[in-house]
Amino acid sequence: MELVSNHGVPKQLITYRGSNFVGELDTQFYRNIGVNHTPATSYRPRSSSQAERFNQTLKNILLKLVLRDESNWYNHIWKALLICRMMESSATKFSAAELLYGQRLHTRQSCIPLSDEEITDKDLESRIKVLTEILPNMRKAGYENISKEKSKQKSIYDVNVLPKKFHLG
């Protein structure tokens, strides 16, 4: 529910086949809000490879954050998620935050608070331009970059694939 209230209704939701995702009430909820729910096949990492890869990245970042204090790893999850959202994807060439919000996330190092007097009409016009022109172009470029990357990965994979020969009988 938090996902919908913060970001709107997703077009597709990929989950595992746990009872808390595929029950009758859940299925009805997905139908009511217009979500294409796709449950992933159990024990088949390829069906949820993006989630599995993200989990691996998150785990590696958490391991580095908790080197000195492993017992309180859960206190570092928010930092690990922030790092993930700020990391540039090798496939899209943008961070998740840039593709979602149209700008890099502001952190303590990059953010100087502005007073109301310092925010001008030019700032508002600039933000509107980002949202209406630059963000759609960034998303389009990200989509094109990921398509190129998929094509490149397919070419590498296809080199080692041998055609299967089928025989009658």
Residues 82 and 56 in one domain: yes
Distance from the Cα of residue 4 to its chain's centroid = 15
Positions of E strands within 3-157: 12-15, 36-39
Residues 152 and 97 in one domain: yes
Distance from the Cα of residue 20 to its chain's centroid = 22
The pTM (predicted TM-score) of the whole model is 0.53
The β-bridge partners of 88 are: 95
Token pair in block for residue 126? 């600039």
**Which range marks the domain in which residue 20 is found?**
1-39
**Which pLDDT score, from 0 to 100, does residue 151 have?**
92
Does residue 168 form part of some domain? no
Residue 8: CB partners within 8 Å, gap ≥ 6?
A: none
**Which pLDDT score, from 0 to 100, does residue 147 have?**
92
**Which pLDDT score, from 0 to 100, does residue 104 have?**
81
Mean pLDDT by 10 residues, the chain (169 residues): 76 82 87 89 71 85 86 86 89 88 72 56 75 85 91 89 85
Does residue 169 form part of some domain? no
Residues 101 and 123 in one domain: yes
